[in-house]
Structure 1
Amino acid sequence: MNTFPDASAGANAALTIAVAINPRAAFGGNRRNSPGQTGDMVVGRLRDAGHNVTLLRRRDYQSLRHAVDAELTAGAQALVVVGGDGMVHLGVNALAGTDVPLGIIPAGTGNDAARGLGLDPRDPAAAVERFLGACKGTPRTVDLGRIERTGQPPVWFMCALSAGFDALVNERANGWHHPRGTLRYNLAILRELLFLKPLRYTLTVDGVPRALPATLISISNGTSIGGGMKITPDAKYDDGLLDLFVVSPVSRLTFLRIYPLVFSGRHTTHPVVGIERVQEVVIDSPGVVAYADGERMGALPATVKVDPGALQLWV
């Protein structure tokens, strides 16, 4: 069982903290400001602040998740993840429904969860200071999205489930080893544009069935995906709702006109864009593979629900 120091103990109360580093950076990550180097900085700063810190470095996400679970079972009072949205996804699924807070130090490619929580992806040191200040007080409570698929355990997400053009882009980009970073994602967008066509969906939205063609459907808990694309700029992490984002069938030219607007959130008034607040969506489209927080979930159908207040954060 995790027990927390009494808030009256003041700023010097020591916590037992597990710090997990993106496995892709845990070995051989020597570039400046890599997650590996950032992780060393985070551990040093937390220890300097008087906390008891365990650094978790593993060669793959499965091994890292096992290590995180072991630390939580042993009594870790907080988990800090160092990396991008994939690491946030790992932390969210380790902590959903518990009273153990999550800290986020952005050091990845997308960093959409961090950005939506007001953290600057360019300044991981500031994120550490935010964590150190927050852990002296009451954790912030936020909602999560929960994905249910037949025969599979539930999976939680922080940002969004994608099941359309953006999921096809993820599938394409993840199949390439080069180039790295956002360039690979942008090239995958261009590749998928060559074959742009609407997909057929069947949905049940808060109990009401509908069938429609669409270019893209996402179900968002946060504001952005894909490294800053503000698909649902007015989404809230604590409103007890998800945002259903639908782009109706469009030509390549129209898509290219809308695409730059997504980064500023100015796309929402375009007639092909629809956003509505929902609590539950059952979604299916033959052959479509869903992604959540940039992580591959598998083929539809899936039931997506809001899980209010499912996560505690120190950010």
Structure 2
Amino acid sequence: MPSPTRPRLALAVNPTAHAGRGGARAREAASLLRARGADVTELWRGSATELATAVAESLPDADAVIAVGGDGAVNLLANVLAGTGVPLGVVPAGTGNDAARLLGVPLDSVEDAVGVLLTALEAGPRALDLGRIEWTGGHRHYLAVASAGFDSRVNERANAWRWPRGHARYTLAVLRELVSFSPLPFDLEVDGVARAQPAMLVSVANGPSLGGGMRLAPDALADDGVLDLVVVRPLSIPAFLAVFPKVFRGAHVGHPAVELSRVRRVALGGPGVVVYADGERVTDEPVTITVVPGALTVLAATRGGTRAG
């Protein structure tokens, strides 16, 4: 547990997040945390592997680890911290920041984010579930959403472009993908029941949003011991265009092509299926996804994909 007077914090920095905003936000966060009495160790590394190693080595001397970056940085550190009991906090500095939304951390003000982190540290960390993805020869945890289908195709396209940056690149990739996308033939097994399911999208959500605030599973809670399965069955392009904007408000729920259910285990695969989690590419192999209750300790506000209190 942290010292009541001088908490020891490891600040893990992705300096390239959101065109360099990660570095600027890290310097501001470090200054604010020190001004509030924290003992801050800054971990700046040139690669994800080096950063994960540095964080792992810092754990014996850290009361909490603070990720400064986007969803990819949070995912990286969640995989390092899973099962350790060392809390993870977030100063959002990415493009999507769905993990920060889940934790109830303000997106636009470093000072406000630091305030939430220190308040949560004083009040006591909370345990959240993680999703676990397994495939031949590998596994990975995720905090927010694992997805395959239209969303992963958009990510594949957007990640191949160097311009434009930020949300504009994702929006353009959505429009470009719509021209050629057709439903994929998913092989699903949901809590032991197998089914062949053509679909536009299959997501297994631990938290409510992906893609920078699209509330795909608006009622998902990251501390309820289950995952929320979202299946969008085949739609014509005009029908899909009519539904897609509603996802940002969660208003797609109830549409006849949208199926939501709570599950504990999902196996999925199929030709052309690529799985992304927390915005990061995982694999194009068949996967099994399960929930790991209480696997990650976090510094969170009382709302944002978790139960109040």
Partners of 2:110 and 2:75 in 1: CA distance: 18
Name the CA distance, whole Å, in 1 between partners of 2:17 and 2:160: 19
Consecutive unaligned residues of structure 1, counting only runs of 5 or more, are: none
- Aligned pairs for 1:245-264 (under 5 A) are 245-264=230-249
Structure 1 contact 235–242 (Cα < 8 Å) conserved: yes
SS across alignment from 1:163: strand
> What residue identity is the alignment partner of 1:76?
A
82-91 or 165-174: bigger deviation: 82-91
Once the two structures are aligned, what percentage of the paired residues are identical? 50
Q: How does 1:20-99 map to 2 (within 5 A)?
A: 20-25=12-17, 29=20, 34-72=21-59, 74-99=60-85
Partner residue, 1:106: 92
Q: What do you get for the CA RMSD once the two structures are aligned? A: 1.4
Instruction: Note the C-alpha offset of 1:5.
Output: 4.2
Alignment-derived partner of residue 240 in structure 1: 225
Matching residue of 1:271: 256
CA–CA distance in 1 between the matches of 2:42 and 2:165?
A: 26
Residue pairs, 1:136-285, within 5 angstroms: 136-152=122-138, 154-285=139-270
Q: In structure 2, give the amino acid aligned to 1:35.
A: G
Query: How many angstroms does 1:180 deviate by?
Result: 0.3
- Mean Cα deviation higher: 40-49 or 247-256: 40-49
CA deviation after TM superposition for structure 1 residue 25, in Å: 4.4
Alpha carbons 2:128, 2:294 under 8 Å: kept: yes
Q: Please list, as runs of the form range in 1=range in 2, the aligned pairs for 1:100-139 lying within 5 A after superposition.
A: 100-139=86-125
Name the SS of the counterpart of 2:123 in structure 1: coil
Q: State the secondary structure of the residue aligned to 1:223.
A: coil
Shift of 1:103: 0.7
Equivalent runs, 1:12-27 vs 2, <5 Å:
12=5, 14-25=6-17
Answer with 45-54 or 195-204: which moved more. 45-54
- Residues 42 and 149 (structure 1), Cα distance of their counterparts in 2 relative to 1, 3 Å cut: same
Contact 1:287 1:300 in 2 (8 A): no
User: Partners of 2:110 and 2:260 in 1: how far apart?
Assistant: 32
Q: Structure 1 residues 83 and 113, CA, compared in 2 at 3 Å: closer, same or farther?
A: same
Is contact 1:283-1:300 (8 Å) kept?
no
TM-score by length of 1: 0.92
The partner residue of 1:310 within 295, 300, 303 is: 295
Is residue 286–residue 300 contact of structure 1 (8 Å, CA) maintained in 2? no
Q: Where do 4+ consecutive residues of structure 1 move more than 4 Å?
A: none
Q: 1:300: Cα distance to partner?
A: 2.6
Q: Which amino acid letter does the alignment assign opposite residue 269 of structure 2?
A: D
TM-score (norm 2): 0.94
